[in-house]
Amino acid sequence: MKFNWILSNELDEGIRRYCIELEYQLRPKITKFLMARLEKECDGDFSCFHFDVDLISKNITISPQTPVRFSRKIESDFEREINGACCT
């Protein structure tokens, strides 16, 4: 899984650390979310999933880089279950 960081400023040391800490919070939550819905279909490999983390709007979304066949299956639950964890 890959996180794409959307920032308003350049990535200074403080923002870089914040992004690392936020990724450590998001990664297990998103992994559990994906496992509950797509573990058998993906055979536990979630490397094709991409997420856009917008630190400006404090929103996380499924990136268009994620295969459509998977994003369609999770998009309805994603906003409710995952997005609330972003950028707090």
pLDDT at 87 over 80: no
Separation CA 71–CA 62 (nearest Å): 7
What pTM, to 2 d.p., does this model score?
0.89
pLDDT digits (tens, 9 = 90+) for 47-62: 999 999 998 888 999 9
| Own/partner pairs, 66-75, CB within 8 angstroms, 24+ separation | 70/38, 70/41, 70/42, 73/37, 73/38, 74/33, 74/34, 74/37, 74/38
